Amino acid sequence: MEATNSLLILSLIGLISLLKLSLPILHWLYSTFLRPAKDLNRVYGSWAVVTGATDGIGLAIAVELSRRKIHLVIVGRNPAKLKKASDIIVAQGHGTQVRTVVWDLAVGGDCSGAERLRQAIAGLEVGVLFNSAGATYPGAAYFHEVKERVWREVVRVNVEGMSHVTRVVLPGMVSRRRGAVVNVGSASSVAVPSFPFYAVYAATKAWCLWFHGNRRGEDVRHEGVAEGFKLLNKMKRRGTIPYMRSPSTWQQRWFPSNSHPPSFHHQKNLPRLLFAA
């Protein structure tokens, strides 16, 4: 009898352990393949702000949001590139409006950029903010080898710039009691024990993920995306980095035709922001 009871207890413990291991997998399967996509217009609003939208991941996201009938305010430092990006988005033929804001996030204390963005979104129902602007070193280097101008620019763009943009857009979301903020981080700060030769970059991306995680209770959804395959235009020493994906591949990975993209959150669950019901 005692042996039977012991076997039953052990079986129960094993079942509980198996369930504990299986639930995250089942959740991933549901989130990736079964959960319906969100109607962003209905859930959050008809406008989105995307930083770093002149190329790379930012442009890919802006194009996809346009395909989903979301009007756009795109932010970048180069007026010519902003115009080109706007033309690309409009040429998709989805009937979305595009506004451009020139704001060089690498320039410290640029209050005029914040004011231009504030004026551009005045009266708009901005439901999504996608902080995808980022900066890093022109090449791998020890911290003491990095020019002061370069590492300060990384901090301004990745930390101060993200904070300034969020501070401009967030009040409208809070007043409407709905909205979503997505911060593009990096696996360099969470998926590996260290990221040699890019110390300041990895540190600022770690800040990015903590920044979103400590702003709960604002009636706005916050997501931090630890993307491990970003294509950073400057993050090359010579030639290409073989394991890094192109922006178009990244876009397809996040926005496939069935609207259930596999990806990961810094806490190892799926970013539910743009796709969950």
198 tagged catalytic: no
Instruction: Give the structural domain span for 159.
Output: 38-254
Q: Are residues 84 and 26 in the same domain?
A: no
Q: Are residues 58 and 143 in the same domain?
A: yes
Q: Which helix (H) or strand (E) holds 117?
A: helix 111-121
CA dihedral of residues 148, 152, 155, 158 (deg, nearest 10): -110
Q: Are residues 7 and 61 in the same domain?
A: no
**Model confidence over 12-25: pLDDT tens digits?**
888 888 888 888 88
Task: State the total domains in the chain.
Answer: 2
Q: Are residues 162 and 250 in the same domain?
A: yes
**Is the pLDDT reported for residue 237 higher than 50?**
no
Q: What is the CA radius of gyration of the chain?
A: 21
pLDDT of residue 115: 94
Q: Are residues 27 and 58 in the same domain?
A: no
Q: Are residues 185 and 92 in the same domain?
A: yes
| Choice among 137, 198, 201, 243 that is catalytic | 201
Give the span between the Cα atoms of 12 and 6, in whole angstroms: 10
Q: Are 106 and 153 in contact (CB under 8 A)?
A: yes
User: In whole angstroms, how far apart are CA 8 and each of 3, 12, 18, 151?
Assistant: 9, 6, 15, 60
Q: Are residues 130 and 117 in the same domain?
A: yes
Q: Are residues 94 and 227 in the same domain?
A: yes
> Model's pTM, two decimal places?
0.73
Residue 270 lies in a domain: no
Q: Are residues 22 and 128 in the same domain?
A: no
pLDDT bin (cut points 50, 70, 90) of residue 29 is: confident
**Is the pLDDT reported for residue 119 higher than 90?**
yes
Q: Are residues 25 and 43 in the same domain?
A: no
- Among the residue ranges 14-18, 45-49, 214-218, the one predicted with the least confidence is 214-218
Q: Are residues 151 and 225 in the same domain?
A: yes
Q: Are residues 192 and 108 in the same domain?
A: yes
